[in-house]
Amino acid sequence: MNPVDAREAITLAHFAEWARVVASLARRFGDLDVAEEAAAEAFATAVERWPVDGVPPNPGAWLTTTANRRAIDRIRREHKRLDKHREAMLLTDDTPPEPLGAIDDDRLRLIFTCCHPALAMEARVALTLRLVGGLTVPEIARGFLVQEPAMARRITRAKGKIAAARIPYRVPSAQDLPARITGVLAVLYLVFNEGYLATGPDTDPVRADLTAEAIRLTRLIRMLLPGDGEVAGLLALMLLTEARRPARVSTAGELVPLGEQDRGLWSEALIDEGHRLVRERLASGVAPGRYQLLAAVNAVHTDARDARDTDWSQVVALYDQLVRLDRSPIVALNRAIAVAELDGPDAALPIIDRLESALQGYHAFHATRAELLRRLGRPGESREAYDRAIALAGNSAEIAYLAHRRDDLD
Amino acid sequence: MQYLVSVIDDKTDSGTEEEMVAIRAFNERLRAGGHWVFAAGLAAPETSTVIDARGEEPVFTDGPFVESKEHMAGLWIIEAPDLDVALELMTAGSKACNRRLEVRPLLFV
């Protein structure tokens, strides 16, 4: 066996099978800790065995069987006096291979458990990336600029709460499902945004590993819940945003705003896929939710081959719809940015000024004001607004861009 | 599985007649569903006494044992198969008593 081929097979199996192995173990043993550790051991065993013995014909089945044995070993070790009946049950419970639908349900159960609303948001993010995404603790810690032991504690604590408070391992009832799906999507969108607009002075402005993982997990959920409009909407939103990543940071490390990006660098494949999803949702005739509307805004942007061709009236119309669903001042700010393009900065500035009390701690509020004041020929006030935006911004490329814009005022 | 549900309040003796009616109706629902174990309102935290009998002589001090702006004004102990059921039940409980609630698993009974 060529060790390179074996390594590649393990990488592929990790992508394809990790969540499935963890999910089926979690169902069988009712313990996420056992499931995670046994899955990790099974993959470690594959790393040892596959280069020597060859890649098994069905890697997923091999990993599940190996992980099951490891889990039973661990349970035996921990309950040295495991009663004979239960031990026999564990040993003989060689349930025949699950039909596909049931396996998918396992992964959905796992996702809903990791994103349970009784867990803190940061715990949901960490658990989802570890148990569903299969990222290692050091990878997750790096992604969120947290020390490894702190991230490990966060995950351990969340698993402890799931066990102690008996957070159930199941797909929520039809009545709770929409709200719980919204909760799952919020976790994935947070992971994506942390990758897309990474914070921290000494970090890459874009962390592509996080955006890629968020897209991969959203694709998985889309496969499991193909009829859900907001799942499709979030996937489209991520794809249309990710498509612009190659044009988003200049070689000098400065953020390049949408209007100035080299649109030839955008990924056509991702744009096509995103547009297909947006069209599919439009054709459904069902009223769009928040993510679908944001995806539609991004579809308008990526439709324009030149920034000057952007259909701003369409963007404003979409934000008008979004404002009705989401009263957040950030949505109102983004709407005002579109109004500035459609009706001019003098129309947008009063709208933005009304948001000051809600958004004075948000860098994008000051950056937007600075830009409008610059266009209105008020450089003194514009400079002040840039200074406040720079003081509040966390992304290194964005700070570089804002400083450059400010210095251009001279 | 049993859960302790604490009623969080920042005032004492603040329950209204309307709330009491809603709580009684809610308790009936708990009983009918087999979720009822126990419930009670608590007197003001200042009425509590702390005992420390770890030494030779027991020591009594005027409570409460932690001073805080908010306190536990009442409690339920409920029986539920898992946290989702407990949260769904006590969402109605929070509406009934018009207070925030904390749901915490009991270790083992």
pLDDT at A255: 87
Check pLDDT > 70 for residue A284.
yes
Mark A8-19 as b/e (b = at least 16 C-beta within 10 Å): ebbeebbeebbb
How far apart, in whole angstroms, are the C-alpha atoms of residue B109 and residue B50? Answer: 25
A97-115 tens-digit pLDDT: 445 555 567 888 999 999 9
pLDDT at A80: 63
Every domain of chain B and the residues it spans: 2-105
Query: Is the residue at A227 inside a domain?
Result: no
Report the pLDDT averaged over residues A145-152.
92
A204-217 tens-digit pLDDT: 777 788 899 999 99
Cα A18–A21–A26 angle (5° rounding)? 120
Check pLDDT > 80 for residue A325.
yes
Query: Is the residue at A353 inside a domain?
Result: no
Query: Is the residue at A37 inside a domain?
Result: yes
Nearest CA in chain B to A161: B105
A168 touches chain B (CB under 8 A): yes
Checking DSSP bridges between strand B49-52 and strand B59-62, what pairing results, if any? antiparallel
A118/B82 CB distance under 8 A: no
pLDDT at A200: 66
Chain B residues lying within 8 Å of A165, measured CB to CB: 83, 103-105
A149 touches chain B (CB under 8 A): no
How far apart, in whole angstroms, are the C-alpha atoms of residue A20 and residue A107? Answer: 6
**DSSP alpha helix (H) spans, A79-207:** 84-92, 100-114, 121-127, 137-143, 148-164, 177-196
**HSE, side-chain direction, 13 A CA sphere, residue A175:** 3
CATH number of B2-105: 3.30.70.1060
Q: What is the DSSP letter of A137?
A: H
Name residues whose C-beta falls within 8 Å of residue B56's C-beta, 6 or more positions apart in sequence: none
Query: Is the residue at A271 inside a domain?
Result: no
Mutation site for B-interface testing, chosen from A109, A166, A169 by largest number of B Cβ within 10 Å: A166
Give the gap in angstroms from C-alpha A164 to the nearest C-alpha of chain B: 7
Minimum-distance CB partner of B105 among A116, A164, A172: A164
A166 touches chain B (CB under 8 A): yes
Contact A112, A171 (CB under 8 A): yes
Check pLDDT > 60 for residue A92.
no
Check pLDDT > 90 for residue A390.
yes
Residue B63: band (very low, low, confident or very high) from pLDDT cuts 50, 70, 90: confident
Range of the domain at A68: 3-97
Nearest CA in chain A to B108: A164
Domain count, chain A: 1
A330-362 tens-digit pLDDT: 999 999 999 999 999 999 999 999 999 999 999
How far apart, in whole angstroms, are the C-alpha atoms of residue A245 and residue A274? Answer: 14
Please report where in the chains the tokens 């990924």 appear, as a residue.
A267
A167/B1 CB distance under 8 A: no
Beta carbons within 10 angstroms of residue A245's beta carbon? 17
**DSSP alpha helix (H) spans, A360-395:** 363-375, 379-392
From chain B, which residues contact A within 8 Å (Cβ)?
A: 1, 81-84, 87, 103-105
pLDDT at A175: 84
